[in-house]
Amino acid sequence: MTVLEVNKLTKKFGGFTALSDINLEVKPGERLGLIGPNGSGKTTLINCVSGTIRDYQGEVVFNGENLNNLVAHKRARRGISRSFQIPKPFSSMTVKQNLLIPLEYAVTAEQLDGLTIEEHADKIMEDLELKDKSDDLTGGLTQIEMRKLELARAMALKPQLLISDEAMAGLSSSEVDDILKILIALNEATKITIVMIEHIMRAVMSFSERVVCLDAGKVIANSTPNEVIKNPAVEKAYLGE
């Protein structure tokens, strides 16, 4: 059983091949780490899966459905959500208003599960430990609060698959633990599948049940964290950085 399947995915930017023949399967409820040196294609892969990029070759299959012809917001409706590497909240609005916008436009009654939109937003802020920042303008948030808001926005539509693109970059060690704890709690409470892109090895290794490593647009490792960390090809990819 797979929730996400990527088959023979290739993405070229002009003459440059950013992703080359990628095959990937993600199981329901799995916590998967996606690693690889700068420029290895991690964000490009996520862009192809979420539909931000659609002119790729190969296929993206979600719950057995080929998503190739669907634009990004339709893929989001199907249950794929991603956080962005560089958060861009509306800075003149409060944390809660930033959550209410995607909810008002896109959430369905089924997703709300009997709650009002406001109650649902409160619940997400509670899950992400942002409740006491609810009425703060996002312009004044700290780095970690911004990261939490970005994850809260990604969680707003109750996705089945959450892809987190470097949600921990620039955080202190204890803040990294904070985000890790939140993501693991979400995964355990809601059985949501999480793909974590991360350069902080300690974090991605403790989070992941399985780790996939990209190098120059190719999958060079796909196994348990312990095996990946000992894989000579992975070590070589990072040393060459």
Ligand X SMILES: Nc1ncnc2c1ncn2[C@@H]1O[C@H](COP(=O)(O)OP(=O)(O)OP(=O)(O)O)[C@@H](O)[C@H]1O
Binding site for Mg ion (CB under 5 A): 42-43
Among positive and negative, which fits the CA dihedral 29, 52, 74, 92?
Answer: positive
DSSP designation for 94: B
CB 33 within 8 A of CB 229: no
- Copy the structure tokens of residue 152: 């809260």
* Least spacing, CB of residue 80 vs ligand X, in Å: 17
* Least spacing, CB of residue 180 vs ligand X, in Å: 19
Indicate the residue among 35 and 141 with the shorter CB distance to Mg ion. Answer: 35
Angle at 6 between CA 198 and CA 76, to 5 degrees: 75
* Least spacing, CB of residue 36 vs ligand X, in Å: 5
Q: Which does 90 bind (CB under 5 to 8 A by kind): Mg ion, ligand X, none?
A: none
Beta bridge mates, 66: 61
Beta bridge mates, 215: 218
Q: Which does 39 bind (CB under 5 to 8 A by kind): Mg ion, ligand X, none?
A: ligand X
Q: Which does 36 bind (CB under 5 to 8 A by kind): ligand X, Mg ion, none?
A: ligand X
* Least spacing, CB of residue 41 vs Mg ion, in Å: 8
Dist. CA 10–CA 6, nearest whole Å? 10
The residue number whose beta carbon is nearest to Mg ion equals: 43
Looking at the chain, how many residues does it have? Answer: 241
Q: Which does 18 bind (CB under 5 to 8 A by kind): Mg ion, ligand X, none?
A: ligand X
Q: Which does 41 bind (CB under 5 to 8 A by kind): Mg ion, ligand X, none?
A: ligand X
Indicate the residue among 44 and 187 with the shorter CB distance to ligand X. Answer: 44
Helices 117-127 and 173-190 meet at what angle, rounded to 10? 130
* Least spacing, CB of residue 96 vs Mg ion, in Å: 29
- Copy the structure tokens of residue 150: 């970005």
Give the neighbor-by-neighbor strand order of the sheet with 80-83. 80-83, 161-165, 193-197, 31-35, 210-215, 218-223
What are the backbone dihedrals phi and psi of residue 161, each rounded to the nearest 5 degrees, phi first?
A: -125, 125
Give the type of residue at 52.
T
First to last CA, the chain: 36
Indicate the residue among 38 and 174 with the shorter CB distance to ligand X. Answer: 38
Residues that bind ligand X (CB under 6 A): 13, 18, 36, 38-44
Q: Which does 13 bind (CB under 5 to 8 A by kind): Mg ion, ligand X, none?
A: ligand X
Dist. CA 59–CA 5, nearest whole Å? 8
Indicate the residue among 43 and 164 with the shorter CB distance to Mg ion. Answer: 43
* Least spacing, CB of residue 3 vs ligand X, in Å: 22
* Least spacing, CB of residue 111 vs ligand X, in Å: 29
Indicate the residue among 7 and 20 with the shorter CB distance to ligand X. Answer: 20
Indicate the residue among 95 and 237 with the shorter CB distance to ligand X. Answer: 237
